Amino acid sequence: MKIILSASVFAVSIVMLACGTPQSEFGIYRQSDGTIGVHAPKSAKDTETQAAAAEECKKLGKRGATIVETRKTVNDRFPMAYIFVCNAY
């Protein structure tokens, strides 16, 4: 009985994690001033946007990302744009 309950909890956890916004749904770009821009889809949460920027910063050898600007766009697919600066902390 315990094994079935544990397996059920594990399966539900995996399904919940899979419901997040896929990385491919974000528009991520590097700006000339060294910041990272992220265009987020309607369904994205702030934490998912932060994680997408942090992943791009890791590619640059940095450890994380801090948000410096948020603005609305006129794009229906990406209604929000976020600007992050990469941190070496």
Domain extent listing, the chain: 21-87
- Which pLDDT score is estimated for 75? 87
What is the residue-level pLDDT of the chain in tens, covering all 89 positions?
545 544 444 444 444 444 555 566 899 999 999 899 999 988 889 899 999 999 999 999 999 999 999 999 998 888 999 999 999 86
Of 18, 38, 42, 19, the closest CA to residue 28 belongs to: 38
Neighbours of 61 (CB within 10 A): 8
How long a stretch of residues is the chain? 89
pTM over 0.75: no
